[in-house]
Amino acid sequence: MKTSSVKLKSQLRHESEKCCLESCSNDDPEEEPPGKRSMSDDPEEEPPGKAAAIRYRFFGDIPDGVWNNWKWQFRNRVTRVEQLTQFIPLSAEEQAQLRLVTMRYPLAVTPYYLSLINPDDPDDPIRKQAIPSTVEMTMGSMGAEDPLDEKKDTVVPGLIHRYPDRVLLVLTDICPVLCRHCTRKREWRNGGWVRSPAEVEAMLAYISQHKAIRDVIISGGDPLTLSTPHLEYIISRIRGIKHVEIIRIGTRFPVVLPQRIDNELCSMLAKYGPIWLNTHFNHVREITPEAAAACDRLLRSGIPVNNQSVLLRGINDSVEAQTELCHGLLKIKVRPYYLFQCDEVQGTEHLRTPVEVGIKIIEGMRGHTSGLAIPTFVIDLPQGGGKVPLQPDYVLAQTEGELMLRNYEGRIFHYRNPAKPAYPELPAEMLCPASSATVSPPQENRVPVRVRRSSKCV
Ligand code: SF4
């Protein structure tokens, strides 16, 4: 294979952004700078598929051992437009414009996630999620900085208490990739922070004092940017609070840096279950062998993995794109959980779709694929109103005794609505007998009721 070389080392060894990896030192002898290959015109050198195009072209000489080291990936994130031009063709004018955009909305993308982009396709669905666009600024007046009004429900710094039984811990604003559609884009300008020990103690004290809290969601930024020991300290303290039943982790690492989901992390999480992990795949091309292996490691450690995707214009806003995504998720045993309407965040308007698009997508999936593959489409209401599910309307008319319904094919059915109970309610002891028996009905019911052993009873 013929290749020519370019020097990318200096561009990729950025240290400008604060890193929260306590053990993120630069002295690992295994670690090599990213590869020195340049873009080649030789058609023989094209990879078989579009995915991994950039790894093939630019990181081909990085040994797998280094490429799969998540700390190397994290440290070598592309954060400047000058670096980006090594991988993605950008005119001088585009570069100048993107520099302006990144002054307001910074850029960060891991070599791994970058490698999934087809650099020759300006409409690549992964590129649109990770690479800045001038429309972030030109449409930047639309929307709000904090549309969900999270500040209003912040009870101590980093702890949002909106619903009675749940709290959200925001431990850091650092993420491996800065997604262009992020709801917390407002945090990016703050330069990378991690909650101090005193702030964490205040959050833990609040949770301890509020016995209604049974569900703690650890989010960010991305909480898995913290080192595993740091994360273990916080998770173990939460698990020590008796009224907390479940812990949830919101993370995009399985998608943008799956190497982070290593055995050390999985073994640690396995100790503090039940822990549920919600991740964020938006396109089927993100479901790579590496991402599938990361989800598999989590599942084998007893951590269920759900997916919360965001509906994004030009990325996944069709029935086909969502069906492919959800089928791909089921194949790796990840449950499609939510499809979010993209929040009204400043700098994301170009990625938002009309609400009808989401409803049409759900309608186009219902009946054509398993219900297991269909996420719940939700709007997270502004001003902290919470999530509202939206469904196609299948009820055409309703009277007291009947509903007129349409099915997924548009055929119309009449359904008798049993508005009043057919029988008086049975006493509880009759609902789960030791064996089949004929029991006496209440006096007013003259029809003998045959009660069978139910599979739910055994
Ligand atoms: S990983 Fe989540 S929190 Fe981080 S930038 Fe992406 S959407 Fe925002």
- CA 197 – ligand 1 centroid, Å: 23
Tell me, using a 6 A CB cutoff, whether residue 221 lines ligand 1: yes
Could you tell me the pTM of the whole model?
Answer: 0.83
Average pLDDT, the chain: 84
Q: Rounded to 5 degrees, what are φ and ψ at 116? A: -85, -10
Q: Which of 20, 182, 295, 342 is catalytic?
A: 182
275-279 and 305-311: which strand pairing? parallel
- List pLDDT tens digits, range 73-99: 999 999 999 999 999 999 999 999 999
> Residue 49 above 80 pLDDT?
no
Supply 158's token pair.
């980093």
Residue nearest to atom 6 of ligand 1 (CA): 179
- List pLDDT tens digits, range 280-325: 999 999 999 999 999 999 999 999 999 999 999 999 999 999 999 9
Q: Quick one: pLDDT at residue 139? A: 73
> Residue 36 above 90 pLDDT?
no
Note if 77 is an active site residue. Answer: no
Note if 317 is an active site residue. Answer: no
Atom of ligand 1 nearest to the CA of 175: 4
Tell me, using a 6 A CB cutoff, whether residue 222 lines ligand 1: yes
In contact, 39 and 12? CB cutoff 8 Å: no
Q: Quick one: pLDDT at residue 327? A: 98
Q: Quick one: pLDDT at residue 138? A: 79
Substitution site in 77, 112, 184 for ligand 1 pocket (most atoms within 8 Å of beta carbon): 184
Note if 13 is an active site residue. Answer: no
Note if 80 is an active site residue. Answer: no
Tell me, using a 6 A CB cutoff, whether residue 178 lines ligand 1: yes
Question: Strand order in 402-406's β-sheet?
Answer: 395-398, 402-406, 412-416
Note if 343 is an active site residue. Answer: yes
Note if 166 is an active site residue. Answer: yes
Residue nearest to atom 3 of ligand 1 (CA): 221
Note if 285 is an active site residue. Answer: no
Cβ burial, residue 5 (10 Å; 0-12/13-18/19+): exposed
Q: Which of 37, 184, 186, 195 is catalytic?
A: 184
Burial string for 436-455 (b: 16+ CB within 10 Å, else e) reads eeeeeeeeeeeeeeeeeeee
Q: How far apart are CA 11 and CA 7, in angstroms?
A: 8
Residue nearest to atom 1 of ligand 1 (CA): 252
- List pLDDT tens digits, range 208-222: 999 999 999 999 789
In contact, 218 and 234? CB cutoff 8 Å: yes
Note if 179 is an active site residue. Answer: yes
> Residue 123 above 90 pLDDT?
yes
Which residues are paired to 386 by β-bridges? 381
Q: Quick one: pLDDT at residue 187? A: 78
Tell me, using a 6 A CB cutoff, whether residue 182 lines ligand 1: yes
In this structure, is the dihedral angle defined by the CA atoms of residues 14, 19, 21 and 22, taken in order, positive or negative?
Answer: positive
Substitution site in 222, 257, 278, 308 for ligand 1 pocket (most atoms within 8 Å of beta carbon): 222
- CA 220 – ligand 1 centroid, Å: 7
Q: Quick one: pLDDT at residue 422? A: 63
Q: Quick one: pLDDT at residue 98? A: 93
- List pLDDT tens digits, range 187-236: 777 778 899 999 999 999 999 999 999 999 999 789 999 999 999 999 99
Q: Quick one: pLDDT at residue 67? A: 94
Residue nearest to atom 7 of ligand 1 (CA): 182
Alpha carbon 405 to chain centroid distance?
34
In contact, 273 and 236? CB cutoff 8 Å: no
Q: Quick one: pLDDT at residue 382? A: 87
Note if 163 is an active site residue. Answer: yes
